[in-house]
Amino acid sequence: MNYLPYILIAVIKIALMIFILLTAVAYIVWLERKVVGRIQNRWGPTRVGPFGLLQPAADGLKFILKEDLTPPHVYKPLFIAAPLIAVVFALSSIALIPFGNNLHIFGQDIPMQITGAGGGDINTGLLIVLGITSMGVYGITLAGWSSNNKYSMLGSLRAGAQMISYEIALGLSLIGVLILAGTFSLRGIVESQQGHFPGYIPHWNIFRGQIVAFFIYLTAAYAETNRIPFDLPEAETELVAGYHTEYSAMKFAMFFMAEYANMVTVACLATLLFLGGWNGPLFGPPLVRALLPVLWFFLKVFAFIFLYIWVRGTMPRFRYDQLMAFGWKFLLPLAIANLIITSFIVAYRA
Amino acid sequence: MVHLILFLAFGAVCVAGAINLILQTHPIQSALSLIVVMASLAAEYLLLGAEFVAAVQVIVYAGAIMVLFVFVIMLLNAGTEEVTQGSKIAKVLGLPALLLLGVLMVWAVTHHATTSVAAGSLYGDPKTIGRLLFNQYLLPFEVTSILILIAIMGAVVLAGRPEMSNPQANAARKDA
């Protein structure tokens, strides 16, 4: 029974990661309300606990205790399944994200990611994350259709079309990074960004010529997660509330969780692929040296999520035809151009 | 041993999804069954060792093509299919013909298969596939891209505005 240690370690990692992810999702909501409030020159939540820190707990309690209404005119199987699909695929992709170097505890070599136990690694990790996020479109599409409501259907069609259009630009912008790293494995891509250029500039992909790809990825990620400036499908002043009009209480909370979990996944991917992952200055005793990469990783992910919230508080939203034209007529040719230039430079150097 | 169990399990899910696809009356449930078929095929590819093809199957087939199928079903508002009488000949000859075909296929595969593939025996990593695609199979690869481009252009012409296909005639017709 030599599988037992692996199963035990995997279960502990999964429990820890789900707890951290769900807490992070709840507190990103708090952070967003505070930061957007400050941008708009008002306090955010301040009453529930110090600095409003218990507001997510109050919101969670509200969602659980609220009446879960299923209108009579909906198509019940898909109405109940759609938020489940959205939240399952949003939470699954965290399994492939590595957070740091391998830990050596009790003689075991534990990689800091859920998949790839026993020192192994998934060598098509990036493709699998892209696959999982592309399956998440079904949650939104089926939610709008099953609600049997004009506004929900229009909102879900728009959201679905927007998500599959920007997936192309997202994928193409990542190919430049793949050419530089030479592998699809997320750990391998981070390890190819170790070290410094002369002058203390880190060897991150964003400084190795992928700055255009970084901005394409950023824009496509905002569109993928339906955030401002691309949140027409779920804007409050348009289409009532878009695809989640007919949902209440826990099902609505699941869509909410799915959206913020997608934000976390996209931020983790951006950190791994463009900002050098967990690479950063190491100092101190061995225990600190083992945990410091995780700190750098979380700081970079936090910076990316803060950028998300900052853009949300600052920019207006695109009209739908402007959104689709931008994705197909500007971002896609730019991503292809980035790919061609990167491959020429790499081939010329080799 | 585990490979055999997994192969049979995913094969069973695939076949069940395909049979469900035919037996369902509402098109959206058929589309969802087809998604299950695509996903279990991806798992079968993974069992063979073709990891790149498995991931691309999920991204392209289950994640993009089936989304477009679902869009079409939603936009056309296709309802539950109506139950018709059905052909009498099909009821009598259908099941025996199916069994005969199944027996023929199983006999052909087991008696004439020259090579068999064990689980995990293919080299499916992206580097190998990339090298093959751009060296040995370059011509089929490029021809397939042009084929898809022709299909897209045909769809745009067929579904586009009238003045796109014949500008002078349609403009003249509009003025009249």
Please tell me whether the interface predicted TM-score (ipTM) of this complex is above 0.90: no
CATH code for B1-80? Answer: 1.20.120.1200
In angstroms, the separation between the Cα of residue B64 and the nearest Cα of chain A is 7
At B59 the pLDDT is: 93
Is pLDDT larger for residue A308 or for residue B92? A308
pLDDT beneath 70, residues of chain B: 113-117, 119-120, 163-176
Given this model, what pLDDT does residue B57 score?
93
Neighbour tally for B2: CB within 10 Å: 7
Chain segment A50-63, per-residue pLDDT in tens: 888 899 999 989 98
Q: Which residues contact B52 (CB under 8 A, 6 or more apart)?
A: A124, A127, B124, B125, B126, B129
pLDDT of residue B142: 94
Percent of chain A with pLDDT over 70: 93
Partner-chain residue, chosen from A130, A135, A160, that has the shortest CB–CB distance to B71: A160
Q: Which of A120, A119, A126, A112 is nearest to A296 (CA)?
A: A112
- In the predicted model, what is the mean pLDDT of residues A104-116? 65
Higher-scoring residue by pLDDT: A111, B103: B103
Furthest CA-CA distance within chain B: 76
How many CB pairs below 8 A link A and B? Answer: 60
pLDDT for residue B153? 92
The domain segmentation of chain B, as residue ranges, is: 1-80, 137-176
Task: Return the pLDDT at B173.
Answer: 56
Contact B74 A153 (CB under 8 A): yes
The answer to whether A145 contacts chain B (CB < 8 Å) is: yes
Any idea where the domains of chain A sit in the sequence? 69-111+121-349
Least confident range from A139-148, A199-208, A292-301: namely A199-208
- What pLDDT is stored for residue A120 in this prediction? 59
pLDDT at A1: 56
Q: Average of pLDDT values for A152-178?
A: 90
- Closest to A10 in 3D by CA, of A123, A115, A119, A92: A115
Helix axes A137-146, B66-76, angle to 10 degrees: 10
Within 70-109 of A, beta carbons closer than 8 Å to B belong to 78
Tokens 């069954």 belong to which residue? B33
Judge contact between A128 and B59, C-beta under 8 A: no
Q: Does residue A296 surpass a pLDDT of 60?
A: yes
pLDDT for B40 equals: 95
pLDDT tens figures, A255-272: 889 999 999 999 999 999
pLDDT at A338 over 70: yes
C-alpha torsion B62→B63→B64→B69, nearest 10: 50
pTM, full prediction: 0.87
Q: If pLDDT is split at 50, 70 and 90, which confidence band does A284 have?
A: confident
Put simply, the chain B residues between 91 and 150 with a CB less than 8 A from any chain A CB are 125-126
CB contact under 8 A, A142 and B70: yes
Test the B interface: residue of A127, A129, A147 with most B CBs within 10 Å: A127
Q: Note the pLDDT of residue B111.
A: 82
- Top mean-pLDDT range of A9-18, A209-218, A282-291: A209-218
Residue B157: what residue type?
V
Query: Does A306 have pLDDT greater than 80?
Result: yes
